[in-house]
Structures are given as structure tokens and as C-alpha cells.
Amino acid sequence: MTTSVPVPASVTAAAGGVDPRRWPDAAAPPQCSRARAAVAGVVVRRALSRLPLRCRLGPGGPVLGTGGPAVEIVDPDAFFRRVGAGGLIGFGESYMAGEWDAPDLVAVLTVLAGHVTELVPRPLQKLRALWARRQPRERRNTLDGARDNIHAHYDLSNELFALFLDETLTYSSAVFRALPAAPELLADAQHRKIDRLLDLARVGEGTRLLEIGTGWGELAVRAARRGAEVVTVTLSEEQRRLATERIEAAGQSGRAAVLLCDYRQVTGRYDAIVSVEMIEAVGADYWPVYFGALDRLLAPGGRIALQAITMADDRMLATRHTYTWIQKYIFPGGLIPSPEAIGRTLAEHTALRVEDSTGFAAHYAETLRLWRDRFTARAAEVDALGFDATFRRMWALYLAYSEAGFRSGYLDVRQLLLTREETAR
């Protein structure tokens, strides 16, 4: 039986008034020339015909693919206009608008993720800079930009996240004893993940611990219960408010302090630093600054435990400047690094090195499945919070898209131990 910090009643007040208009209305397809839509139609039909899918183009229309999970493009004309106007962003927007659907969305997206290099013909891949949108400069993670980017996702509503996360309110990959896992095992698996990170960093009685990226406070509580003195920083006002309440409810307010602070503004020296799935929000331009801050803040002989989503280096290099559906609608300013990019940045800008690295991709896929099941089952409660049908389809696509990334091997999640070169063993 697990024990965890309760969700205070104030969680319902933390939403701050949800405004569904914050998400673009996907009801009307964008303007797109007939020629561009026609080219998109040719490219998409060609790709679908070679994939292990069964894709029907409109009610009673032809079926493309070599067999596999079913997809129905309900409105082919609107779908091709969206893809022609926005590429993969248009593909996601078309799902938000209900122009295509699938009985098993994860299975379809897993196929697409596994064949991503085949979706666009090689000649067009070489012209990526001409047809793929670049990330907006206003979404760069400057001090002001990072705060706005974090606010756009993590300050949606504490109550929304509480609907689909487990009672620990942990919003990162769990580590299970065995797969697949039952829903009631998720909280234990989250604690297992947290404990593994704290063990990597050797957090115990008297450890001065810095956590970069508070979440809703579960790691800070667990570290404080070990006797650590915890400083945890976040840019999310909603997370800080609830994390502080949860720390107080756990009786650990004397050992853990939550600061509304950018990692670049943290001062002091710490025996251990832990950061869970925060590097994805840093942005490539600021990776040297982020790892430089870790190096600056780590006391001699200290240890750093990171949990990071990663992708293959060649895919990261090919797409690092591309503006994606996830960046537009879910994580503005975000970019997933490769293990090699982390290693290069450490070597070029710090005295830190990766001493240990362990992957848990299948565990993240399972975590996302459990979140998605709960989100889908509680659609009426999501609606009651003020999030409209377009948002619900957007969020369901985000969870399914992420799960497919880990199931296909396109994405991984790793726990990394960083030490200074002179202290590495």
C-alpha cells in the first residue's frame, strides 16, 4: 500500500478560470491553394499506399495501405487542404477538427512513427527548409519566454492534471516492476522512479538538494522524508501553489522550500541536483546555459540525477529547427535532445560527464496508456472544467502521439547520472 500527499481542496480553485478560446478553433480548414492541396494529396496517398494501415478515404471511398490498424479520413478534401497548408501541424489540426479518426489511435500513430522517414519523398526531405515551418523566435526560452512557455502548459489547471494523473500528481515516466501494469500500480511505480533518482544522487540525511522543475512536489516531499534539505524551483505559479500546500500537508515545510525561480537565477552550492523531464523545455540554444548552471551549482563531489526524454541524434539534427504540432499546441519552446547532444554539450561547456545512463521507453509508453485511459474515461469532468471538445481531442492526440513515440522506438526516456570528470568512477 502506498502513501502519498493528499490533493487539497484548493485544487479546484487553482484553475484560475479556464478559457477554451486559448486553443485555436479548428472548425474551418485554413486557406490553401488548389495546387498545394493537390500535391499534398498525391504525397499522402503515395505514403499511405505503402504503409501497414487500412486507410479509407471518405465514407465508401477507396482503402489504401497494405493492411493493419484502421484509419478513416472522414473529409479528404479538408484533410488534404490542412496537410497542404501546414504539413504535420495540419495533420494534427485535422484530427482536432474531427476530419480523420481511428478506432485504435495509438496503433495508427505507432505505425506512422515507425515509418516517419518514408512519409515524405527523399527529394522533398532535402528541401525541408523550404516547406517546413521554423520555430517562432518569440517562443525562444529567454527568461521571459521560458516563463510564458511554461505557463502555457503547466498553468492550464491543476484540476485538469489531477483528473488523469495518479494521487502522487507525478507528471513524468514511472518505472514499473513488470509490464503491462494495472492502474492501481501507477503510484507505486512513480515512487520507484523517484527513489531511483534520489538513490542515484545519493540523497539522504543532511543532503543539500536542489530540484529544478518542481512539478506538484512529490519528489521534494520524498527527499525531505529522507532528511534532505530541499530547494525546489519552478516557473509555474499553479504548480508552486499546490506543491507548497502538499509539502505542508506532508509535514515537510521545514525541510523543503518551493521557489518561483528560473534555473538561471538559482544561487548557492548543492550536494545533489535532481531534474525530471525538464531539459525538454530548455531549448537547444540554452543547453549550454542549463548544463553550465548545473556545473556551477554542484558542490565538489556532488552528483546530478536527470530524467530526460531523448531521441536519435540524426532525427534530432534533421528536425531541431522545425515547428511541430506538439510545439504549437502542447509544449511551446520545447525540444527533445539526443543522448549524443547531451554528451557534446557537457564536453564543450562543463566539467560534467555522464557516468550512468539507463533507458525506460516501454515504461513511459505504459505510463501514458494509463494517463490516456483515465483522461478518456473522465471526459465529462474535463468538459465541466471548461475545456471544449477541440481541446479534448487535442489532448487525447497528444497522449496517444507520445505513447506511440515510445512504443515505436522513436523516443526514449533515460535516467542519467552526471558527475564531474575528476570525481567520476
28: confidence class by pLDDT, cuts 50, 70, 90: low
Q: What pLDDT does 59 receive?
A: 93
Task: Identify the band that residue 16 occupies on the pLDDT scale cut at 50, 70 and 90.
Answer: very low
pLDDT at 35 over 90: no
Using the structure block, give the residue that is written with the C-alpha cell 494521487. 167
Looking at residues 384-403, what average pLDDT do you find? Answer: 96
* pLDDT tens, position by position, 163-219: 999 999 999 999 999 999 999 999 999 999 999 999 999 999 999 999 999 999 999
What's the whole-number mean pLDDT along residues 301-310? 98
Question: ∠116-120-124 over CA atoms, to 5°?
Answer: 140
Residue range 54-74, pLDDT digits in tens: 999 999 999 999 999 999 999
* Higher pLDDT among residues 10 and 143, named by residue: 143
Both ends of the chain: CA-CA distance in Å? 37
Q: Return the pLDDT at 124.
A: 55
Residue 10 pLDDT class (50, 70, 90 cuts): very low
pLDDT of residue 33: 79
Task: Check if the beta carbon of residue 284 is closer than 8 Å to that of residue 313.
Answer: no
pLDDT of residue 36: 85
Per-residue pLDDT tens over the stretch 359-376: 999 999 999 999 999 999
Amino acid at 403: E
Q: Residue 1 — pLDDT band, cuts 50, 70, 90?
A: very low
**pLDDT of 31:** 73
More confident call, 44 vs 25: 44
Of the listed ranges 84-88, 150-154, 293-297, 409-413, the least confidently predicted one is: 84-88
Top pLDDT among 300 and 130 is at: 300
pTM beyond 0.85: the answer is: yes
318-339 per-position pLDDT tens digit: 888 889 999 999 999 999 999 9
CATH of domain 9-18+138-420: 3.40.50.150
Task: Give the pLDDT score at 383.
Answer: 95
Task: Calculate mean pLDDT across residues 253-260.
Answer: 98
Mean pLDDT of 396-425: 90
| In the chain, ranges of CATH 3.40.50.150 domains | 9-18+138-420
Average pLDDT of the chain, as a whole number: 90
Which tens digit of pLDDT belongs to each residue from 97-144?
999 999 999 999 999 998 887 776 665 555 555 556 777 778 889 999
| Confidence band for 14, pLDDT divided at 50, 70 and 90 | very low
* pLDDT (0 to 100) of residue 117: 73
Q: What percent of the chain has pLDDT over 90?
A: 80
| SS3 readout for the chain | CCCCCCCCHHHHHCCCCCCHHHCCCCCCCCCCCHHHHHHHHHHHHHHHHHCCCEEEECCCCCEECCCCCEEEECCHHHHHHHHHHHHHHHHHHHHHCCCEECCCHHHHHHHHHHCHHHCCCHHHHCCHHHHCCECCHHHCCCHHHHHHHHHHHHCCCHHHHHHHCCCCCCCCCCCCCCCCCCHHHHHHHHHHHHHHHHHHCCCCCCCEEEEECCCCCHHHHHHHHCCCEEEEEECCHHHHHHHHHHHHHCCCCCCEEEEECCHHHCCCCEEEEEEECCHHHCCHHHHHHHHHHHHHHEEEEEEEEEEEEEECHHHHHHHCCECCHHHHHCCCCCCCCCHHHHHHHHHHHCCEEEEEEEECHHHHHHHHHHHHHHHHHCHHHHHHCCCCHHHHHHHHHHHHHHHHHHHHCCEEEEEEEEEECCCCC
